[in-house]
Amino acid sequence: MADNRPSIAREKLAALLNEDLAREYQAIIAYVVYSQVLKGAEYMSIADQLQKHAAEELKHALTISRQIDYLGATPTTIPKPIEVSDSAEKILRADLQNEIDTIKNYRERIRQCETLGEFAIAEHIREILLDEQDHLIDLATALGEDAPDLTN
């Protein structure tokens, strides 16, 4: 039986995953840098967490790259821009916003994968989403806040 789904759907998914991959690269670089430049006793715990986040983001980038290749596209090599600041709070807020954006995008990507019948890719993204939510909680806690509600 022929597959009647348009090939552009897979191409579009690969393009969106490449945007996600660029965001993962951004996170790797940001976490590596921020973990080293945060100063002060109040930031030592989160600095250690950011080092762990960097390693997890690398794992995510490898997973997303594999899915892009599976879809027949080439993984991007260019990260999204990284915000640099001397303010620890500004750095952490930028990271928090990046995690919010990442979570929202991955939730949408899961829906898109399932619509296309790409259930395995959706499962890989669900695994990544577990880490991203933990990162969100860590960053909000470091800022002395509750994690933002992303249900809407």
Q: What is the pLDDT of residues 6-58, one digit of tens each?
A: 456 899 999 999 999 999 999 999 999 999 988 888 888 888 899 999 999 99
**Distance between CA 48 and CA 36 in Å, rounded?**
9
CA dihedral 76, 78, 79, 82 (to 10 degrees): -170
> Residue 97 has which token pair?
């916003």
Question: Domain 7-142 - what CATH class?
Answer: mainly alpha
Q: Mean pLDDT over residues 83-95, rounded?
A: 90
> Residue 27 has which token pair?
């996170």
Residue 135: Cβ within 10 Å count? 23
Residue indicated by tokens 């994968």: 113
Q: What are the domain boundaries of the chain?
A: 7-142
**Distance between CA 80 and CA 149 in Å, rounded?**
24
Maximum pairwise Cα distance, the chain? 63
pLDDT value at residue 38: 87
**Distance between CA 133 and CA 53 in Å, rounded?**
11
> Residue 49 has which token pair?
């967490």
With cut-offs at 50, 70 and 90, classify the pLDDT of residue 84: confident
Nearest to 101 by CA among 32, 37, 26, 10: 26
pLDDT (tens digit per residue) in 100-132: 999 999 999 999 999 999 999 999 999 999 999
pLDDT value at residue 101: 95
pLDDT value at residue 96: 94
> Which of 32-41, 64-73, 93-102, 127-136 shows the lowest per-residue confidence on average (mean pLDDT)?
32-41
